[in-house]
Amino acid sequence: MQKQLFNSDWYFTDKAGGGLADQIHGASKKSEKVELPHDAMIHEKRTPDAVSGSQSGFYPGGVYQYTKKFYVPEEWKDQTVIFEFEGVYAHAMVYINGDYAGGCLYGYSNFYVCADEFQKYGEDNEIRVTANNSMQPNSRWYSGSGIYRSVNLFTGGMLRIPVNGVRITPKNIRHDTAVAEVEVKIENDCLQGERIKVHTEIIDPDGNTAAEDETVITVYRGDRTGVRQRILLSAPRLWDCDSPELYTARVSLNTDGGKMDCVEEKFGVREISVDPVNGFCLNGKTVNLRGTCIHHDNGIIGAATYYRAEERRCRQLKEAGFNCIRSSHHPMGKAMLDACDRIGMLVMDELSDMWTRPKNTNDYAQEFVYHWEEDVEKIVEKDYNHPCVILYSTGNEIQEAGTPKGAQMNRRISDKFKELDATRFTTSAANGLIAASDCMKEIMTDVLREAGSDLSGSAEGGAEGAGGSNLLNNMMSLVMSGKTGDAFAAHPKMTERLEEFADATDIAGYNYLTGRHALEHQLNPNRVVLGTETFPGDIVRLWDVVKKNSHVIGDMTWTGYDYLGEAGCGIFYYDGKANFSSNWPDRAAYIGDIDLTGYRRPVSYLRQIVFGLRKEPYIAVERVNRYGQPHSMTPWMFKDNIASWTWPGYEGKPAKVDVYCASPEVELFLNGESVGRKPAGEENGYTAPFEMTYHPGELKAVGYRNGQMEGEFLLYTAGEEVRPVIQAETQKIHADSQELVYITVGLEDASGYPNLYEVRNVSVQVEGTGVLQGFGNADPQSENSYDDTVCPTYDGYVMAVVRSTGEKGTITVTFTVEGCGSVQTIIEAE
């Protein structure tokens, strides 16, 4: 079947405000023309009384309607027409010419709607989609609302390859040869049988024909059949993280009357294996998973899933040292899968955040038991040809995990994945606090007794019925970090609760249970372990566990990229507030290695050094204007530091400086004079701390190995006068309404030294063949809307996302900075 985007010329109505029947069937507000993907929630006004509170970032949710007129030609009478919705949040209902045609309850699954029975030929037709996200609270993080992923239109003749009808499985991979097993499904709705030739051409990454095959088959009337071809590839170019080589399979159905259908699918030639001695292997080489969990939103443009946004996020994570992404806690979108294939990022794709026990009043637990098999089928269909996908996760922090019925369910889901796709591995991200909730008092009594403390109060019931993120995360902060957390993780009762659940999957996935990772090999020598979610500031210890234990195949930090919702998880409160307390106006978690604008925070550079990917040292300065001030702290937080040596008004005041360094020794210089020389490197947690006095000038760190300089890093104090500096990530884009360009404006002095301390209001204006998709900064507590055209700098920067209108021409983007004049960049849409 032939595929085309169906994203343009939709009309959107926010129907919140009336009764539910009115919202769905009428009494709506004025429509506006929109381009898909479209996140309706990001344009809503945040309110302190939003039902979901900080979980959604104080966005309220609602009911939404999308309509589009499309012409159906007479020739479609002999064709099948299918709409694919890659993601609608949530409870999607699709109507064609007023009649219900299909839908999907789960906001993260792609789904298909066949239009054949509803179309009117030779005239305009109407498709209408309603999305209901009014039943709050549901998601524990920012979900977005509406048709936030792309819509595709598939058309095919009476004799066709159906949607998802080509599956490619690389086999028998050797140095000089490999086999591409190509399975092709065929559907025949013709009035008679057809003798056809199925021709498959394999095109190599350079666009040349690498191999081909042709199979003859007679397809009878009404048949749903297929062929399987085994095609030999000579000198195959393997897909891996460093060289993500992609082949294309071009499959055509041919009869004496000509070509009846043609489909192209990209794939990679690679093989994966896992065992407790060699760990995870990609093409026969051990690869430790340098992983991160990520939610699905794209910061200041919300959950709108544009390929360029996903590609940018994936690329930045790869540049920061990650080689694996866990989609948390839902199936990954197709745009991100495509980006991971092209960039060389491994993927752990996840089914759901809950099964039958809800975490929020209106979450997917109400529907999961009825739809999980269909959801698994959709994930496998979506993922099968993507070489980036190596793991399927059956769920995240499932509350049934510590029960025999929970283990049974885990086996059923894992077996379903394996039945549909035996080429990949399964895991589940288990949380010990939840799994052992019924015996928390016994465990904590033992743990605290060993530590010389008493348990005050009762922990019976644990996180059962915890009503979202805040209570659960508070409890995890208390009992799952540090030495107490390790003792908690290794308790015999924890083993009792987790062992049957862990046995259900290929790999035991543990959230915040690092104390179990090495222990697991003693208890079960055949078990392979993955840290599916871990505290970000604990990376030095976590990676040491990975390096020393071959059965521990990697670590997935929470999290590599900041996100909306779960707001305040990592905010440093200096005003007496506590984290996880639904504090207005918090909007973002503020817990990512990379912030909402793409700026890498200091913990990102520490992680890169720990991974062995950076030799140069890095200087991180705890905010001098906050020196000595008490603040909130959770295990998800690292340090309130920044790579800046510009602190006007704090001359002569004390300062704390960390130098992250792989070298065994590091020396810090201020204005050419040594502040001190200290041990660093692995034995010292890759960190050399310095207490010093702030004076403006040059701050330089030099790393030494065997007395020789191995690398250096410098920070400079910016001068008093600032000027704007503009950086567009590209100056040319396609004239395509799906194309985005990211433009950052920062402040610097006359010498080009960045000033991250100064705060200036910045306004933006877009002219020509582009529109402003979003404008904002990385401030997790900003009350600005991302639709605003004025925004203050935060840690020195603001960012605009500009989208092409689809027309060729010039896009002029002008930024006016308070007290600094204007800067401008010109983007060519070609």
Give tens-digit pLDDT for 666-685.
999 999 999 999 999 999 99
Q: pLDDT-derived band of residue 1, with 50, 70 and 90 as boundaries?
A: very high
Confidence of residue 20 (pLDDT cuts 50, 70, 90): very low
Give long-range contacts, CB 8 A cutoff, 24+ apart: 794-798: 794/759, 795/595, 795/599, 795/642, 795/644, 795/756, 796/644, 796/746, 796/747, 796/754, 796/755, 796/756, 796/757, 796/758, 797/597, 797/599, 797/744, 797/745, 797/746, 798/597, 798/744, 798/745, 798/762
**Rounded to two decimals, what is the model's pTM?**
0.95
Could you tell me whether strands 194-203 and 247-255 are parallel, antiparallel, or unpaired per DSSP bridges? antiparallel
Asked if residue 479 has pLDDT above 80, the reply is no
Residue 92: pLDDT over 70: yes
Give the range among 281-290, 322-331, 485-494, 540-549 with minimum mean pLDDT. Answer: 485-494
Contact 421, 433 (CB under 8 A): no
Question: How many CB atoms are located within 10 Å of the residue 725 CB?
Answer: 16
Q: Is the per-residue pLDDT at 19 higher than 60?
A: no
Average pLDDT over residues 310-326: 98
Q: How many CA atoms lie within 13 A of 618 on its CB side?
A: 22
Averaged pLDDT, 312-319:
98
Q: What mean pLDDT, rounded, does the chain reach?
A: 94
Lowest mean pLDDT among 454-458, 495-499, 603-607: 454-458
* 84-93, 200-209, 488-497: the lowest-pLDDT one: 488-497
Confidence of residue 691 (pLDDT cuts 50, 70, 90): very high
Rg of the chain (C-alpha set)? 28
pLDDT higher than threshold 90 for residue 483: no
Express each pLDDT in 421-453 by its tens digit: 999 999 999 999 899 888 888 888 888 887 765
For residue 26, is pLDDT > 80?
Answer: no
Residues 6+ apart with CB under 8 A from 685: 540
Q: Do residues 179 and 170 touch, judged by C-beta distance below 8 A?
A: yes
Confidence of residue 17 (pLDDT cuts 50, 70, 90): very low
CA proximity to 133, closest of 202, 231, 50: 50
- Overall average pLDDT of the 597-617 stretch: 97
The beta strands (E) that lie in 108-176 are given as 111-114, 123-132, 151-156, 159-160, 166-171
Q: H/E element holding 548? A: helix 539-548
Summarised one tens digit per residue, pLDDT across range 640-667 is 999 999 999 999 999 999 999 999 999 9
pLDDT higher than 50, residue 459: no
Distance CA(816)–CA(830), nearest Å, equals: 27
Query: What's the whole-number mean pLDDT along residues 69-95?
Result: 97
Residue 162: DSSP 8-state: P
Tokens standing for residue 53: 């509170």
- Distance from C-alpha of 268 to C-alpha of 135, rounded to nearest angstrom: 41
